[in-house]
Amino acid sequence: MLSDAPRGLRLALGLTSAAVAATLVAGCGSSGSTSAAPSSSGPVHLTYWAWAPGLDQVAAIWNKSHPNIQVTVEKQAQGDDLLTKVITAAKAGSAPDLVQAEYQALPTLVSNNVLADISAQDGSASGKFAPGIWKQVTLGTGAVYAIPQDSGPLMFYYRTDLFQKYGLTVPTTWDQFRADAEKLRGEDSSRYLTTFSANDAGLFAGLAQQAGAQWWTTSGSSWKVSLDDAATQKVASFWGGLVKEGAIDNQPMYTPAWSKALDDGTQLAWVSAVWAPGVLSSSAPSGKGKWAMAPLPQWTAGQNVTGSWGGSSTAVTADSRNKAAAAQFALWLNTDPQAVAALVKDSYVYPAATDAQTGGALSTAPDYFSNQPDFYTQAAKIAATTAPAAWGPNVNTAYSAFKDAFGKAAQNRTDFLAALSTVQQTTLADMKSQGFTVSG
């Protein structure tokens, strides 16, 4: 039997109708669920809302071998657009059977009673994923709200030729990272080790995650918001200090100027995720064969932990009339060797399932990293050390506040701790305004 969320968690996550209306863009249409109850007249039909490319090709493999359970993939927009659409559909009782959901969106979906608890079907799947990844789909409870699909473990990318030229060590600690940044600036003021960018809060969230941050936690029916906890303050102080002294650049990522800096060697390194090779191949094409990947620097020598930047899951909705069948497909999609191989090939994801992170399509390093043939072997070792993240029901508010407050602080080289306090207070006030019982 598929149960509802535990009552305490539902209370902690629960939004009032007025709060939902305030947080969502009203009026989004829905094609509704095309599920049908099993009968002798034909197969079960499941609808899957997702944005990753090629999922229809992966579903076709399932459909060919499972004639009694047929899955139709309906392509959707990513991020807030899909989140809004599926919640709106659920309020009308017409959500799809399955939905691709980013990890940080799961608390919002649970709070709006969109997702089913599939622990009775897929609770035993936990051993197939890194503990830190699995915790993100359980929200720290005994429930299972989704099956992990892909992940984005953080790593350190650097130009091997320029590190050698300037006598830099590949940093194993953040203290060494700072030393590299300062040494480089002292030897060549035209170059920076890297930049601090506020236009994608996901990177900062992953760095805080590595340091042990727990931004949202629950106790009974109450939330605690701690975006300014000691771990996050440590991360903010570190990067703010580097920016203030000019040891690293303060320009945003994903701009033409940023791409040029990576391509011409003005910036020698980038803290990014396992998907970085695709970005580097387009942003810094002349660096092919010159970059290498290493584990993320650690706060304490000898530690071995990383954060994550990105990643999504496959969830079953409460509206589905065939939850068991939907859960069966979700587990197959993200753990079956043939399915995961197709996900890597056709959807370009880095699989969350640990057994799928080496071999098959990941036997060969990305073309851009042909100089590092063990790229995916090393990536799998790093992914296994992913720390758990603690998400809440208003991540979008926190991310928006981060982009504004840290964007200004970076450009003006002012206090990052003051910016962090602004993010905390904005996020806390937003949750209170939505009717949550909350402290911070």
* CB neighbour class for 103 (10 Å; exposed up to 12, middle 13-18, buried from 19): buried
Per-residue model confidence (pLDDT) at position 67? 96
Q: Of residues 430 and 8, which shows the higher confidence score?
A: 430
The mean of the pLDDT values for the chain is: 90
Rounded to whole angstroms, how far apart are CA atoms 265 and 138?
42
Rounded to whole angstroms, how far apart are CA atoms 422 and 17?
27
Give the mean pLDDT of 43-50.
97
Cα-to-chain-centroid distance, residue 376 = 19
Q: Determine the straight-line distance between the first and last CA of the chain, rounded to whole angstroms.
A: 37
For 64-85, the pLDDT digits (tens) are: 999 999 999 999 998 888 999 9
Give the mean pLDDT of 383-397.
94
Nearest to 308 by CA among 344, 271, 354: 271
Asked whether the predicted pLDDT for residue 20 surpasses 50, the reply is no
Cα dihedral 254→259→261→263 (10° resolution): 150
Asked whether the predicted pLDDT for residue 343 surpasses 60, the reply is yes
Asked whether the predicted pLDDT for residue 207 surpasses 60, the reply is yes
Asked whether the predicted pLDDT for residue 324 surpasses 70, the reply is yes
Q: Count of CB atoms within 10 A of residue 254's CB?
A: 11
Give the mean pLDDT of 187-205.
97
Asked whether the predicted pLDDT for residue 5 surpasses 80, the reply is no
Per the listing, tokens 């758990």 go with 388
Asked whether the predicted pLDDT for residue 144 surpasses 80, the reply is yes
pLDDT above 70 coverage of the chain, percent: 91
Give the mean pLDDT of 245-249.
98
Per-residue model confidence (pLDDT) at position 34? 39
Rounded to whole angstroms, how far apart are CA atoms 335 and 212?
28
Per-residue model confidence (pLDDT) at position 40? 52
For 268-310, the pLDDT digits (tens) are: 999 999 999 999 999 999 999 999 999 999 999 999 999 999 9
Asked whether the predicted pLDDT for residue 27 surpasses 60, the reply is no
pTM, 2 dp: 0.89
pLDDT tier, 6 (very low <50, low <70, confident <90, very high otherwise): very low
Asked whether the predicted pLDDT for residue 17 surpasses 60, the reply is no
pLDDT tier, 360 (very low <50, low <70, confident <90, very high otherwise): confident
Asked whether the predicted pLDDT for residue 374 surpasses 70, the reply is yes
Nearest to 225 by CA among 401, 387, 24: 401
Per-residue model confidence (pLDDT) at position 42? 78
Per-residue model confidence (pLDDT) at position 41? 65
